[in-house]
A = this chain, B = another copy of it.
Amino acid sequence: MSSFPPSLENLIDRFASLPGIGRKSAQRLAFHVLSLPEGEAEAFSQAILEARESVHTCSVCQNLTDGETCRICADKNRDEKVICVVSDPRDVFAIERSREYKGLYHVLHGVISPISHVGPDDIKIKELVARVADGDVSEVIMATNPDTEGETTAKYISRLIKPFGVTVTRLAYGVPVGASLEFADDATLMRALEGRREI
């Protein structure tokens, strides 16, 4: 038995259905929304609708965009010969933050995962193969996550696109910058030793 009005209860339920938001947090968020200044709650409500309506995938790289192609694909200063393949749009954001990479991207929207019933046809692999087959791409950097599924996906794609004569590379494994060796796991340390470089 609840003592909240149904519309408030409904808002709490909506918040509680979001990932990582428990019942107590959902209550706090719903009460916060009720206490927002005039117009702010309406703007929040509107933001949800607008994001849903205007955001879709870029026709070239499958990254999220509100135009026909995304800002990165549309940018003439980027190196069109290099494609960095990631599993999620957030990974593009992470790599862009480093301001180091000047090529294009390809977002797979997932990784091959037999356990979750995700096969090669369920993610944007066809689109990547088409880009490699069409254009004059010289290098494809596989930047899927360094876990089993990311690794499998990288290997699978690598086999598919190598026949087109492109260089396929993988992000370097090693100890994270700023981390303590003491806390690095065995697999990471092994890869860091394997990948050692002369200084």
Q: Which residues of A contact B (CB under 8 A)?
A: 1-8, 10-11, 13-14, 18-21, 25, 27-34, 36, 41-55, 63-67, 70-72, 89-90, 92-93, 96, 99
Closest A-B pairs by Cβ, 6 of them = A5-B66, A11-B51, A45-B48, A45-B45, A3-B96, A7-B54
B residues less than 8 Å from A6 (CB atoms): 66
B residues less than 8 Å from A21 (CB atoms): 29
Among candidates B8, B64, B70, residue contacting A64 with C-beta atoms closer than 8 Å: B8
Among candidates B13, B18, B66, residue contacting A7 with C-beta atoms closer than 8 Å: B66
Among candidates B8, B49, B67, residue contacting A42 with C-beta atoms closer than 8 Å: B49
